[in-house]
């Protein structure tokens, strides 16, 4: 908002339409009925820019809180805390502040490549991780690392990052995730796949740590999600399976998408 010289006035409510005309701004409401609000918790954890405020809550502050909770719930003996750019950085800082372990810059991001999370193909995703990030040996070599990322979806990216840090000389890698495990697909426009592709659907935390090559792994407890934003009215269905709307009984996202495309 400030990047384009804008000034915050207020949030636009779900289902609300604002009409801008030469006569000013008018509001239109009621098209979708009066349903309770269910803000996507993953906006705070991953999607939104850290300088955003959603429904009056700072995204940066919610990520710091996630890191602090992780430090309390999943502590680790380490020499330095690093984050995976971009959205793991704020939570890494929170982990550092709460644990007293120094914060460091251990991964550098190539600015000229997009987010791997939304890449459609597995090969393409793996290739992009290699191009997108590089490890900073000065920070990680010979060190016990706490590595904070915002999520583990399929595990591909996490495995590559852990390998990259080991190649750069990291002695131990304690992986901490500022979100709970993904156990359910998202039906609301996010590329969180059916359970077939979600690593947490098939493996325990210990086994997932082994697959991605980490010495230990800890996730944000699902019970802590409301405390990130200090209010109710959340969607956290990809973690809890409690969808705010009706979804296909089999919870097969591909099937659901096929139904939508069939109607087009």
Compare residues 165 and 186 and give the one whose CB is closer to ligand SF4: 186
Figure out which of the listed residues 188, 201, 203, 222 binds ligand SF4, where binding follows CB under 6 A. 188
Q: What is the DSSP string of 117-157?
A: GG-SSHHHHHHHHHHHEEE-HHHHTT-EEEEEES--SSSHH
The CA distances from residue 63 to 84, 105, 135, 147, 159, in Å, are 13, 17, 23, 15, 23
Rule CB under 6 A: choose which of 64, 147, 170, 192 binds ligand SF4: 192
186 binds ligand SF4 (CB under 6 A): yes
d(CA 208, CA 199): 7
Cis peptide leading into residue 168 (ω within 30°)? no
Distance of alpha carbon 264 from alpha carbon 261, whole angstroms: 5
Q: Which helix (H) or strand (E) holds 260?
A: helix 253-263
**Contact between 145 and ligand SF4 per CB under 6 A:** no
How far apart are CB 122 and ligand SF4 at their closest, in Å?
Answer: 20
**Site residues for ligand SF4, window 31-90 (CB under 6 A)?**
40-42
Is 240 a binding residue for ligand SF4 by CB under 6 A? The answer is no
Q: Report the run of H or E that residue 28 belongs to, with start and end.
A: strand 24-28
Residue 256 binds ligand SF4, judged by CB under 6 A: no
Smallest gap from Cβ 234 to ligand SF4, in A, equals 7
Residue among 41 and 200 whose Cβ is closer to ligand SF4: 41
Task: Report in angstroms how near the CB of residue 104 gets to ligand SF4 at its nearest.
Answer: 30
237 binding ligand SF4? (CB under 6 A): yes
Q: Which residues bind ligand SF4 (CB under 6 A)?
A: 40-42, 186, 188, 190, 192, 235-238
């Amino acid at each position: 908002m400030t990047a384009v010289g804008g000034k915050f006035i207020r949030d636009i409510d779900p289902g609300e339409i604002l009409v801008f005309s030469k006569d000013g701004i008018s509001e239109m409401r009621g098209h979708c009925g009066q349903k309770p609000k269910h803000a996507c918790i993953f906006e705070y954890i991953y999607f939104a820019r850290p300088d955003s405020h959603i429904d009056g809550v700072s995204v940066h502050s919610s990520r710091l809180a996630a890191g602090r909770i992780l430090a309390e719930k999943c502590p680790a003996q380490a020499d330095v805390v690093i984050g995976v750019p971009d959205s793991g950085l704020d939570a890494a800082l929170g982990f550092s502040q709460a644990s007293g372990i120094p914060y460091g810059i251990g991964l550098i991001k190539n600015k000229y490549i997009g987010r791997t999370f939304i890449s459609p193909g597995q090969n393409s995703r793996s290739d992009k991780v290699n191009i997108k990030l590089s490890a900073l040996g000065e920070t990680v070599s010979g060190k016990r690392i706490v590595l904070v990322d915002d999520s583990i979806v399929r595990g591909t990216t996490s495995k590559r990052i852990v390998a990259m840090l080991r190649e750069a000389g990291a002695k131990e890698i304690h992986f901490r995730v500022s979100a709970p495990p993904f156990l359910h697909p998202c039906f609301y426009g996010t590329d969180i796949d059916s359970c077939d592709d979600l690593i947490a659907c098939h493996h325990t935390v210990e086994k997932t740590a082994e697959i991605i090559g980490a010495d230990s792994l800890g996730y944000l407890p699902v019970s802590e999600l409301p405390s990130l934003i200090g209010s109710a009215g959340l969607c956290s269905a990809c973690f809890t399976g409690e969808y705010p709307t009706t979804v296909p009984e089999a919870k097969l996202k591909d099937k659901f998408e096929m139904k939508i495309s069939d109607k087009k």
